[in-house]
Structure 1
């Protein structure tokens, strides 16, 4: 009796527990898991991977995946499994890599996630390449590029494409990919990608018998790998350097690198480290599988224990049936709601996808149109500005001079208008990314103010700089884009301020460890902006009114460019203004500090200096006949002799067979481009100054130009003084040689 009573009591307790569980199950459908930050684990994983601590990187990514599962963040789960898969591939654990890849694939079948699909295809391509199928890998990489605009993934794709092109003996494509990565601005793995790019260039130059270049690139790779503890890359660099110096016949140097290689390979520590990493990878995969098996074992055990207690089973049967009925009704109702919701979501998703595709096509059409128009306009505009300059130099009559100056003003106005439109569309098309280099903020602001003093004098206006001395002298950011922001803001203030003041204010708001928050303000005593116009003042072509446009001129794009550029830094611009009393534009930026660098003399403007170009001999590479004539006449004005090449192939041969002081290289030409011609010239001449003289379009990348080996860029049409300055600077005061050249 006591046993029965005890069983009944246990049954009652279990019944209550089941009922409570049922209610918790129903209510849990409306509960939400607290959001947890998992970015820390991603950052740790990247850091460990770059230090070649793959086991720690896998552990960090496993924690990220677990947190993502807790908060049901499917996209982050996919990203985590992809990273763990790639980490296992670095250890050559293909079975583990496939295991996590397939888990990511299950989630990708549940949601639409273009970036996840792109990474999936990248991993597929990597596996195909590793298994000797480069053509299929190339096709998948092309598909991945179309799905994502993530800069880090695109850099990884470029690196893999470079390695594939190397194996397929497509050396020109491989060279372009590796050179572009040497000067990459990757947010996560900049140094690692640069190291891999140098290794790729080393192997490429060995294959092409450019052994001096191979040695140089190999040393660069080895230096970076040692500094950052890239264990595998240290091995590769030593191996390639040994091969390069052996081919050069420098056997002592080759022996040094071979000894380094043997010492590293024979290191017991390296072997134990690799073994530990593989063991960790297998252990984590095993733990994931074991946790699933344990859950199943617990369920089986519970069932076995229940089957041995017939009396409890009999008592609970009716309770379970009742509860199951309630749950079935609840689930049925919820399923019906979910089905209807899913149908509605699918319909809306299809509509949104269609609308998105239409919008993307429209944006691409607009971008392509503006890129083509801006490029095509620059060519005749070059003729207009160039011929105007030449005519002004030929002592025209006063009446002719007046007309020519009006023509020059119109040409400059049109050029500024084209540049503004191109700048906005580059930002809209995600073609611009802020750099992260050391600079002096005070120097940037001083240079901007000095460059606008002429405009200030014309309006009888004073420019003041109120600079907070507590701001650290060395900061990390993009000084050129900051210069653009302040040139537009101060220039805009000067345009609407006559016989007044324009003040640039900086204040240190907050400093925490290596980060500072700085308040910026540009205020003037000009005409002010009406309250009803302030809301739209940052829109394209918006200047307040037609009357203001007619009186003060301009395109109305300056503030739009400022707003877009600040968006790249994660900041927003705000405005205070009152009619007749002036305006104030202000914003905040959070920047990193950099200690110990002497950068006070960095200058972001062209140094005003007159160079004597007399007697120089220059090669002009240009396919347009009119542009050839204009450029040649402008050089003759300075007593410079020149030869002309109509295409890239001619340019290569002329540089090979003649001596020039510099080359003016057009980029867009039929046949091989100026970029490709520069790469070929750099194979046999690394010191000749090459200046890209080109009409830059929306798709052009200055990084790509410099990576090809050009020393400087002059955009057509150009101001003659800028043209002569650039030639003089690069011949008589050359900059530090580009590492890719």
Structure 2
């Protein structure tokens, strides 16, 4: 029964506090004195007498502390913080607002706490800590939006304004504009307009629209801000608007108007803030303060009424607490046990989270390593294929080499998009827009898979709609990946059967065609239960199927993700033992020109100008050395080789080269370190990174190290020479 005694003691103390808090006459007099000091301080702000205002507020806080009136202490601290903030005394403002936040949190004065967060965020912004300010602005927005007091609309609008400014500072004007528009909507619906904040919002929104090159909107908002500043005597905003109008007209190449506004800006600036600009500065501070401080909020009658309401609410709250206390007591033991269980579960979750994070790091490291290791032999495959194709093969050999080249490109795409699961899961794969021949793509896929199908006794049967346009616009490599995965999947699970590939045009207009794809097999089929999970990573029909047919279980997951990127959806119909049918509908754009456009990118390269140019290849892999050398020498270029970074530095120091091809991962110093050392004594030599490293995430590091361009391995030969040609042309080595 110890708990019952403690509970009773709490009730008695609470009753004493609630009903014994009637202030005596002396306290009433002091409260009136405190309110009078605060009101006088606000009036002094309105007359730009900030020094006396600070003295009144400090006196009010001192008296409030003596009678332990925490609410008035916090009010005085909040006002002091705002005065210091507008005068640029940020350290003092920081101390005052922290005191106000602590007290308002203790008193649970939510609306005032919202204002505190707004002022604290302003201090952080002024002291170049915008990102730290963001969560406080978000808290202020949440609190003020939930307030029933219509008087907080100005503060909420200010919170939106500063939030928008941070987004604009982060180069996100499109995200900042909704914040500005919300703020304007709030203020324009008020009977008593806060023109100072409205004008500031117009200024910032105008800058955002100018960043997005919406010149009409930008000019409109800047003009409105200028008109408000003139009509309401806001000198700082008038100067900001004049400078902004000058910039807008300058960007519009209307230099006469731009000069006129900037000339007016210089004249006004000298007038307002020249040798005798102290009055204007005081006026600017006063305008900023009065935009956030409403003297009506500190009316004595209103404060007395608020005190009465607070007393009534305390009594009502106490009554409710008494009624709830018994039920809380009965549930106390159950809650304690639940808390213990929750803590144990939380501890397990924390451990699981840490393990997941470690696994994620290991996974990322593994994917980075395996991608690099796979690209190295792929470079040999694609390089040797190119060399063989250039040595006049027979028609039959060329047919097989073309198939090998196609398969190599597909495997490279897998290395870039499949093994890098992080990239796929984060939807960072971009859809290319290129004109290509769909029928040729389909034929290439079927040719690449024909032998595999024959080995299993399967027939690949194509039903292709002749009405489909010869040229369409989309991502050809992505479509190849989808078809290879779906047809390869059907072939894997079918023996002595057929795989039907049906491609039909559903509709067509002048700009696009709507196609239907079906891949149907007569193989194993998929059970209803497994059909729900078959598109997940590393999922197959069963363990027995995995052992019988092999595979990673990634193919269908990749198909689903690639189709989602193209705003399509994969569907499945399957009967166990009879086969499966995968189908999807997809839209492709049509070329604007009626003439046929080339499927591959056309590289403009003057091969004659490359002849006789001397290149240094820095590469530790002997096979890669041989392939790169042969490719260069086939085009009559001189090639020298360095096995590592140290040798490369010495060769560049004592010999003359037109260009350097630099690998990244080498024994000793890396290619990045070698390039940095070369740049210490040779700033002009073109250096290209020829590397199997995944560069998407750290491409800036390559350019900062001194590389002129990057050629990821394996590469297309045309792209290889195109980048070499461009690098030499930019450095005026060739004309």
TM-score under structure 2 length normalisation: 0.47
Higher CA-based Rg: 2
- RCO greater where, 1 or 2, for CA within 8 Å and sep 6 or more? 1
